[in-house]
């Protein structure tokens, strides 16, 4: 992702409807882990940018590290008081079986060799450790936005599941997100000439927040959306 997009993301992530709801999804996933008896431990936030998701991890008792490839993103995260490292997700600077949780939201689509990043996630997770993943979906939504933010693909359920299963991870859940606003996203992407990451008027931002929050309570996870979410784990029997 270009430096200008990193700075835009960091400036908007606290207020923009998309990023607010993504943090809410992460917080809900962390609460589910806690309720299942999984204690908070060492966590890695891959592609942390400004560190919004890293802060959610810290607020829920995890010991997170923000990993960012870009110099600008790493600097912003560090300036916000987060433990930060610069590294490539395809070559994680962590010992095998040393992490309890890996979060990678909107990262895998940036790599030609996405399998290398997923294999590294499996290697770094301890047996029983969890991966929480988000990716853009459906090549029918491909647009100038994808080019502007450095995507090389959009996934479908089969292609996303395949790369995780091949790496030896067990998929616990795979679902669609941003379903209700997909028609709006498709219309806007057809007209787009670049990134659609923008500072929105307050009333528009609020309206989109209301719509996207409604998905929490509606049975729409199996319908086509704009993103796919995945939760997987390294098998307990998979000892280093």
* Structure confidence by residue, pLDDT tens digits, 27-46: 999 999 999 999 999 999 99
Q: Which residues of the chain have pLDDT under 70?
A: 1-11, 193-197, 199, 240
Contact call for residues 26 and 51 (beta carbons, < 8 A): no
What is residue 211's predicted lDDT score, i.e. its pLDDT?
Answer: 96
* CA 166 – CA 143 distance, rounded (Å): 29
The per-residue pLDDT for range 105-122, each reduced to its tens digit, is: 999 999 999 999 999 999
What is the per-residue DSSP string for 82-121? --EEE--TTS--S-TT-EEEEEEES-GGG-TTHHHHHHHH
Dihedral (CA of 155, 158, 163, 167) sign: positive
**In the numeric block, which tokens belong to residue 151?**
């995507």
Pairing outcome for strands 170-177 and 227-233: antiparallel
What is the assigned CATH class of domain 3-233?
alpha beta
Closest by Cα among 18, 2, 52 to 197: 18
The per-residue pLDDT for range 124-136, each reduced to its tens digit, is: 999 999 999 999 9
What is residue 141's predicted lDDT score, i.e. its pLDDT?
Answer: 93
Distance, C-alpha 19 to centroid of its chain: 10
Query: Can you give the length of the chain in residues?
Result: 240
In this prediction the pTM is 0.92
> Where do the H-state alpha helices sit in 60-216?
71-79, 114-124, 144-148, 157-167, 182-191, 202-214
* CA 137 – CA 226 distance, rounded (Å): 6
Residue 211: Cβ within 10 Å count: 15
């Amino acid at each position: 992702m270009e430096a200008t997009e990193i700075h835009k993301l960091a400036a908007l992530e606290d207020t923009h409807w998309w990023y607010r709801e993504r943090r809410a999804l992460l917080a809900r996933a962390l609460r589910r882990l806690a309720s299942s008896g999984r204690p908070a431990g060492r966590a890695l936030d891959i592609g942390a940018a400004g560190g919004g998701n890293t802060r959610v991890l810290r607020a829920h008792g995890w010991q997170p590290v923000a990993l960012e490839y870009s110099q600008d993103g790493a600097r912003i995260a560090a300036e916000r008081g987060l433990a930060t490292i610069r590294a490539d997700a395809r070559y994680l600077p962590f010992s095998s079986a040393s992490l309890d949780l890996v979060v990678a939201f909107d990262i895998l689509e940036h790599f030609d060799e996405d399998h290398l990043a997923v294999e590294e996630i499996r290697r770094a997770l301890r047996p029983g450790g969890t991966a929480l993943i988000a990716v853009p979906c459906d090549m029918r939504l491909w647009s100038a936005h994808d080019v502007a933010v450095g995507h090389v693909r959009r996934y479908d359920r089969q292609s996303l599941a395949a790369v995780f299963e091949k790496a030896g991870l067990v998929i616990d859940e795979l679902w669609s997100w941003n379903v209700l606003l997909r028609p709006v996203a498709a219309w806007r992407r057809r007209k787009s000439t670049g990134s659609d990451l923008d500072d929105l008027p307050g009333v528009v931002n609020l309206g989109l927040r209301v719509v996207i929050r409604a998905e929490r309570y509606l049975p729409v996870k199996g319908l086509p959306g704009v993103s796919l979410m995945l939760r997987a784990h390294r098998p307990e029997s998979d000892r280093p």
